Every structure is written in structure tokens, then in C-alpha cells.
Amino acid sequence: DAVVHWFKSDLRLHDNRALHAAYQCAKDNGVPLICLYIVSPEDWAAHLTSPARVDFTLRILGQLQRDLGELDIPLYMETQAKRKEIPDRVVALCQEWGAKTLYANMEYEVDELRRDAKLVRLCADSGINFAPTHDTCVVTPGMLHSQQGKQYAVYSPWYRAWLAFLKDNPDYLELSEEPGSNPGDAREKFKSLFKCEVPTAPASHQLSDEKKKRLEKLYPAGEHEALQRLESFLEDKVKDYESNRSLLPGEHTSVLSPYFASGALSARTAIVTAKNMNKGHLDRYDPGYMAWISEVAWRDFYKHVLVNWPFICMNKCFKPEHTDIEWEYNTDHFQAWCDGKTGFPIVDAAMRQMQHCAWMHNRTRMVVSSFLSKDLMLDWRRGERHFMENLIDGDFASNHGGWGFGSSTGVDPQPYFRIFNPLRQSERFDPDGEYIRHWVPELRDVSDKAIHEPYARGAGAIAQKNGYPRPIVDHAQSRERVLERFKRVLKG
């Protein structure tokens, strides 16, 4: 007999609801706990998971395996070629190990819900106890609604409801204990499982050696690193977070998103740690903590949106009328945007930051998403896809939410007539051009003032000499075009 915990995007031992329950169950019954992870290249391909995120996941699995090994808990990993067969395979493994109970945390994307619904049915037919656990959000999706019983489509009232809910239900902020030593003798009974190796990335998702090393340095794997980053951010930088979070030079945010996305860090742990350090308050006392807590809550918000309106997983706009917006399909423009060669220094710096680090600052994510969908008038879904294919923190709900905001086609979007001006954003959030200079070496010798717009401010000769392109569109003209196209569908 045994109990199984199936890891998905919850790659940690600390504060993991399903893992904790699995451990308790094994302990109560005095049987071994076995952990499982299934690598699914088809899922990675279908969900556009970036090679950076695949590499990060595999690195975390190595760390997780070592940590579990110290507790005499095996982590069995295998690659499953056909994603449709994953539920059958999970059941077959439980049967092979004689496990009558299976635990796993829930994922809310449509494919994952379908997969788990099938698994629930198969388990019921096979006499295996299985009910997925809610864990990834601080407040479980479905718990918040307006007084009229409606789902929130606007962040501010949703956030007030989120805060009120946590005040009324403090148990939602209780952290789960980490597992201790395996209650059953797994070393003896399941010897071979301890010899399992971390699968390698499929050929389609391999990183070059150089990039792999770079990302290993930028984002060391595992929950120990995540918890350390959390602590040092909250001790040090959070105080200035409210005022500095949008500044582009320097590092003023936590850069914890890769750890949240892979589940190496629990959002609950992040909120509880911040709350404790903020004298027990979520929405009072220190503005830095308050701002950071409300930012982490955006992650919950977008997951709630996904659960309430699952059709957004199908490439659909949140509001049907936006489906009719006329987009451009200019391949050269799209390529220039991807390559950081649009002639708009702030946009180019950000796109090159993503190429190099597989991560981008939130401010510039807003700038480049607005630029793609409004200045270039390209379909926002092309940008959404490109982000998923390149980010180490690519997360469907947050990415979709961010693109909906930037392109004014999503839930609680930026109003369509408020169009980011790349020049103003650049002057405001990178006043001395330090961020641009770092990522766009062609402009290193350009003065502080001219760097935001070299060709219009007397630095055209340097820019040209160094091969920096002229702007590929005119912002003022693009602005008129996008306003007209939105007005057309909203009136019609």
C-alpha cells in the first residue's frame, strides 16, 4: 500500500496543500509516500511553454528530488509522449505501486481541468481515492462575488472583496507544514524509484549552453532560493516598492515571478510573510508592503478571471465586440518588435531584455504590449504568444490578463483611448536613459535627452552610424488609426 502525490505547477515542499495532505494520509496509515512528476512535451508545445521555463522546471525537479530524497521520499519522473494518456498512466502507476490514494493540486486552465476530470472518473472506476486540492491561489476561485452574486470583472472591487474575505476567513492564510521523513519504508519497497533521473528537455525546447548557464545564474532553481529572495526583498527593497516599482534602471521589484509560476514559491507564503512583516496588516501601515501585497493579488485576480470565463483559453476576447477589431498583419513590423529593432528605444531595450533574461519589467511589459497592439495595430494574440514562448515566468492567466490590459481588449483593460506614448514612458521611467543604454548598445554614446528619441533630437548621426533603425511607425498617426478602429467596432 502507498500514497501518491502528483506534482504539477506546485514544485515545492513548503506550504503545499496536496503534498501536506498526502503526507498526513501516509502517516495516518503508516504507508510510504511516493511523489510523481510527468513530463509532457505535447503540453509544453500546446501551451507554448518557453525553453527557459522548461529548463527552469527541470532544474527545480532536480532540487526537489534531492530534498525529498533526504526525507526518504522518492520522486519518480517520466516523460509521457501523448498528453491524452496522462490520466491513464497516473492510474496505472498508482496500481503498480499499490496506492489507493492520490493527491494533486488543481490547475485551472481548460486542458488541465479536462485532464483532471478524466482522472477523477478513472480513479473512481479503479477504486483510487482522488479529489484535487485548491492551492495555487490565496483565495480559492469561486469564493468571491458581488452582492448581486456576480463575478467581478474589475480589479478594485474584487480586491476589496479579497481583503474582506481573508479577514473573515483567516484559515485561508494558514500555511501547510512541510513533510517529514517518509512514514513508510519506501527505500526498501520502492528502491528503483530512487534511481530515477530527471528527464531531459525535448529537442524543441533545448537552450544553448551559453543561455542555460546565464539563466542558471539569474534564476537559481528551487524553493530555497525562492524563500531567500522573498525574505531579502521584504527586508530590504519593499520599503521603496510603492515609489520605485516602475523605475526601469536598477532592481526595484522582487523578480519572484519565475518562482510563483513554477510553484517553487507559494503565493500564500508570500502574502503571509509580507503581512507578518507589516505588523499583521494586509491593507494598512506600510505603503510598500501594501502595494506589494496588492500586486501579488493581481495573480489571484487573473486566475479567478480564468475560472469564471474559461473561454478566454480559446484565443477569444473577453468582450465579444472586440473580436471585430481590424488588425494589421505586417510581418516585418512583428519581426522588428520581436528583435528589438523598432526604432523606439524603450521598446527595443525591453524586447532585448526579454531575449537575454527571459524576463521583462512590468512597466515595459505594458509599454511593449501597448506598442504592438496600438502603435503597430498588430493582433495582440501574436504578442501574447511571443511572450509565452520566451518568458521564464510565462503563466497563461497573468500573461493573457496583461495582454488584455495593454491592448484594451481584456478584463478591466486600460481604456482604449488611453494610449501609452512610448516617448513619455521612456522619459518618465528611464529619465537618464540608463536602462536603454544597457540593452541598446548602439545608443550608448547618445546624450540623456536624445536617447529617448535619437533621430528627432539631434543624435541621428550616431544612431545611424551604429546601425540603430529609424522609428518604423509614427506614433501620432498610429494613435489616430487605433482610435478610429476601436470606435468603429464599439459603435457598430
284-321 b/e (C-beta count within 10 Å ≥ 16 → b): eebebbbebbbebbbbbbbbbbbbbeeebbeeebbeee
Q: Which of 158, 162, 359, 380 is catalytic?
A: 380
Distances (CA, A) of 299 to 52, 53, 100, 135, 455: 21, 18, 34, 13, 39
Cα torsion 265, 266, 267, 268: sign: negative
**Residue 139 binds ligand FAD, judged by CB under 6 A:** no
Q: Pinpoint the alpha helices (H) of 340-468.
A: 345-357, 362-370, 380-390, 396-406, 422-429, 434-439, 460-465
- The rounded Cα 418 to chain-centroid distance in angstroms is 26
Least CB distance from residue 369 to ligand FAD, whole Å?
Answer: 4
Could you say which of 15, 55, 223, 395 contacts ligand FAD (CB under 6 A)?
A: 395
- The answer to the question of residue 254 lying near ligand FAD (CB under 6 A) is yes
393 near ligand FAD, judged by CB under 6 A: yes
Is residue 298 part of the annotated active site? The answer reads yes
Q: Does 398 bind ligand FAD (CB under 6 A)?
A: yes
Query: Using only C-alpha atoms, what is the Rg of the chain?
Result: 24
Please, which residue, 94 or 230, has the CB nearer to ligand FAD?
230
For ligand FAD, the closer CB: 194 or 327: 327
Select from 196, 198, 218, 296 the one that contacts ligand FAD (CB under 6 A).
296
Q: How far is the CB of 36 from ligand FAD (least distance, A)?
A: 25
Strand order in the sheet with 99-104: 75-79, 33-39, 2-7, 99-104, 129-130
Q: By the 8 A CB rule, do 33 and 187 touch? A: no
16 is catalytic: no
On whether 91 is known to bind a ligand per the annotation, the reply is no
Q: CB-wise, 103 or 396, nearer to ligand FAD?
A: 396
- Any known ligand binding at 445? no
Closest residue by Cα to residue 475 from 347, 387, 389, 303: 347
Task: Pick the stretch among 15-23, 173-181, 398-406, 430-438 that binds ligand FAD (CB under 6 A).
Answer: 398-406
Query: In 10 A of CB 387, how many CB atoms?
Result: 23
Cβ at position 85, least distance to ligand FAD in Å: 28
CB distance 53 to 263 below 8 Å: no
Chosen residue from 31, 366, 446, 463 binding ligand FAD by CB under 6 A: 366
Taking CB positions, which residue lies at the least distance from ligand FAD?
Answer: 402
Query: Would the annotation count 253 as a binding residue?
Result: yes
Interface residue with ligand FAD among 20, 59, 115, 245 (CB under 6 A) is 245
- Least distance in angstroms from the C-beta of 473 to ligand FAD: 19
**Would you say 411 is a known binding-site residue?**
no
Task: Specify the residue, 136 or 257, whose C-beta has the smaller distance to ligand FAD.
Answer: 257
Residues contacting 239, CB < 8 A, separation 6+ = 286, 288
Cell of 334: 512583428
**One of 29, 242, 308, 327 is an active-site residue; which one?**
327
Q: 76, 130, 387, 420: which one contacts ligand FAD (CB under 6 A)?
A: 387
Among 32, 51, 340, 406, binds ligand FAD (CB under 6 A): 406
- Taking the least distance from each CB to ligand FAD, the nearer of 61 and 261 is 261
Rounded to whole angstroms, how far apart are CA atoms 353 and 364?
Answer: 10
Residue type, 446: V
How many amino acids of this chain bind ligand FAD (CB under 6 A)?
Answer: 29
Question: Which of 203, 183, 163, 15 lies closest to 101, judged by CA?
Answer: 183
Nearer to ligand FAD, 163 or 255 (CB): 255
Residue nearer to ligand FAD on the CB measure, 18 or 397: 397
Q: Indicate if 210 belongs to the active site.
A: no
Which of 415, 418, 334 lies closest to 380, judged by CA? Answer: 334
Residue 318 is a binding residue for ligand FAD (CB under 6 A):
no
422 part of the interface to ligand FAD, by CB under 6 A: no
391 binds ligand FAD (CB under 6 A): yes
Is 158 designated active site?
Answer: no
Residues 358 and 394 sit within 8 Å (Cβ to Cβ)? no
DSSP string for residues in 240-309? GHHHHTT--SS--S---HHHHHHTSS-HHHHHHHHHHHTTT-SSSS-HHHHHHHHHHHHHHHHHHHHHH-
- Which one of 159-167, 188-196, 290-298, 308-316 is the stretch in contact with ligand FAD (CB under 6 A)? 290-298
CB closer to ligand FAD out of 72 and 223: 223
Catalytic choice (29, 244, 330, 362): 362
Per the annotation, does 292 bind a ligand? Answer: yes
367 labeled binding residue: no
Q: Are 47 and 388 in contact (CB under 8 A)?
A: yes
| φ and ψ of 144, to 5 deg | -110, 130
Do residues 174 and 55 make contact, with C-beta atoms less than 8 angstroms apart?
A: no
Q: Active-site residue 362, yes or no?
A: yes
359 is catalytic: no
Binding site for ligand FAD (CB under 6 A): 245, 253-257, 260-261, 295-296, 298-299, 302, 362, 365-366, 369, 387, 391, 393-395, 398-399, 401-403, 405-406
Known catalytic residues?
Answer: 295, 298, 327, 362, 380, 403
Indicate the annotated binding residues for FAD: 241, 253-257, 292, 295-302, 393-395
